[in-house]
């Protein structure tokens, strides 16, 4: 199939583009490079454009059969201080894309949703039928797009997969591509930067949560496991089946302290850290129940925390040599 990967020059999109290629699909990347990088799209046709540009989308959609939509702003804190930016890109941009897809007669869309749509769930592990109650504008924009997909499915026969990612982590095993957010806000790269002495010491937000070691627990899903879930979702929709929303996580939670210990073991270095107060809006634990994805897509995460940390570390070292070349 010819797949339009919107946001394919970013972290998760670039890994998924490679997974699609390995599975025999053709990929066209569409990206405005606002947070993405041209070198992450190397080896693919890259169309530089913005999802708000309907005519650019129209041109490229005329050559494609399915869409994967990764393009979004994705900093929770920034979405609180600058919601306008988030509603513009994630909501207006998302609708521009959906309308262009309907006009082009494209019926298959796979969307990067998030566990942030659940907000602070009453029960963990989280199942897909948990009420969606996002607690920040970022989560609201993602829920809005899920609801738009539901309406466009009913009205126009769009078939969608809403993949609710938990915490994406790790890097391609080749060491050639990986996470490159600026500023970086994700725990594993921040922990590794602290270990390497290239970043500030790690700030731990809260050590008095009702968890075994007092730090927050999250479900870290390796980016290549995420990528393979996209390929499975595409093939599921292509076989004529109905739209769906699933959690994409491992079902295992790790605490901040456990991530730090894994990083110290893998790097052989101490992670300098400061324990600070809790951050508002951080639930103690967010862990997926991944049973639905397994049943529907025959998909299961195959990598664990060690793989996440080890591949991220390999990528960080490779990046350092790239910078010094």
Ligand X SMILES: NC(=O)c1ccc[n+]([C@@H]2O[C@H](COP(=O)([O-])OP(=O)(O)OC[C@H]3O[C@@H](n4cnc5c(N)ncnc54)[C@H](O)[C@@H]3O)[C@@H](O)[C@H]2O)c1
Active site residues: 138
The least CB distance from residue 89 to ligand X, in Å, is 5
CA angle 181, 185, 188 (to 5 degrees): 90
The residue (of 177 and 263) whose beta carbon lies closer to ligand X is: 177
The residue (of 94 and 284) whose beta carbon lies closer to ligand X is: 94
* Residue 81 · residue 39 · CB < 8 Å: no
The residue (of 147 and 272) whose beta carbon lies closer to ligand X is: 147
- φ/ψ of residue 219, rounded to 5: -105, 110
* Residue 110 · residue 158 · CB < 8 Å: no
The least CB distance from residue 46 to ligand X, in Å, is 10
The least CB distance from residue 54 to ligand X, in Å, is 12
Residue 286 pairs in a beta bridge with 218
The per-residue DSSP string of 85-113 comes to: HHIIIIIIHHHHHHHHHHHHT--EEEEEE
The SS3 of residue 160 is strand
Q: Around Cβ 132, how many Cβ atoms within 10 Å?
A: 20
The residue (of 78 and 214) whose beta carbon lies closer to ligand X is: 78
The least CB distance from residue 31 to ligand X, in Å, is 4
The least CB distance from residue 47 to ligand X, in Å, is 10
The residue (of 150 and 214) whose beta carbon lies closer to ligand X is: 150
The residue (of 50 and 78) whose beta carbon lies closer to ligand X is: 50
The least CB distance from residue 208 to ligand X, in Å, is 25
The least CB distance from residue 27 to ligand X, in Å, is 14
Q: Around Cβ 154, how many Cβ atoms within 10 Å?
A: 10
Please, is 290 exposed, middle or buried when counting C-beta atoms within 10 Å of its C-beta (0-12, 13-18, 19+)?
A: buried
The residue (of 110 and 270) whose beta carbon lies closer to ligand X is: 110
* Residue 164 · residue 117 · CB < 8 Å: yes
Q: Which residues contact 239 (CB under 8 A, 6 or more apart)?
A: none
Binding site for ligand X (CB under 6 A): 7, 9-13, 31-36, 50-52, 70-72, 74, 89, 93, 112, 114, 165, 167-168
The SS3 of residue 117 is helix
CA dist., res. 19 & res. 228, Å (int) = 6
* Alpha-carbon separation of residue 40 from 29, 172, 201, 213 (angstroms): 10, 11, 28, 37
Helices (H) and strands (E) in the chain, counts: 11, 14
CA dist., res. 175 & res. 321, Å (int) = 11
């Amino acid at each position: 199939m010819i797949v339009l990967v919107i946001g394919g020059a970013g972290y998760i999109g670039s890994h998924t583009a490679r997974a699609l290629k390995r599975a025999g699909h053709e990929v066209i990347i569409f990206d405005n490079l606002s947070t993405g990088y041209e070198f992450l799209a190397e080896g693919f046709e890259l169309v530089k454009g913005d999802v708000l540009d309907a005519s650019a989308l129209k041109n490229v959609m005329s050559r494609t059969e399915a869409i994967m939509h990764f393009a979004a702003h994705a900093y929770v804190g920034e979405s609180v201080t600058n919601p306008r930016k988030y509603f513009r890109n994630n909501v207006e941009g998302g609708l521009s894309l959906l309308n262009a897809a309907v006009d082009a007669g494209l019926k298959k869309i796979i969307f990067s949703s998030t566990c942030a749509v659940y907000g602070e769930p009453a029960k963990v592990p989280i199942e897909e039928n948990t009420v969606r109650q996002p607690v920040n504008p970022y989560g609201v924009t993602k829920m809005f797009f899920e609801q738009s997909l539901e309406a466009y499915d009913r009205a126009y026969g769009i078939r969608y997969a809403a993949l609710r990612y938990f915490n994406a982590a790790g890097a391609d095993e080749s060491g050639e591509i990986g996470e490159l957010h600026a500023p970086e806000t994700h725990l594993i790269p921040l922990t590794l930067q602290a270990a390497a002495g290239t970043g500030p010491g790690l700030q731990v937000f809260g050590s008095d949560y009702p968890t075994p070691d007092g730090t927050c627990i999250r479900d870290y899903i390796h980016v290549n496991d995420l990528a393979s879930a996209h390929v499975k979702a595409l093939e599921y929709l292509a076989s004529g089946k109905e739209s769906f929303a699933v959690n994409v996580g491992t079902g295992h939670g790790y605490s901040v302290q456990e991530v730090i210990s894994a990083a110290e073991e893998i790097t052989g270095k101490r992670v300098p850290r400061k324990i600070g107060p809790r951050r508002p809006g951080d639930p103690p634990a967010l862990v997926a129940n991944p049973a639905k994805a397994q049943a529907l897509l025959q998909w299961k995460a195959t990598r664990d925390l060690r793989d996440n940390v080890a591949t991220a570390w390999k990528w960080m070292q490779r990046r350092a040599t790239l910078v010094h070349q």
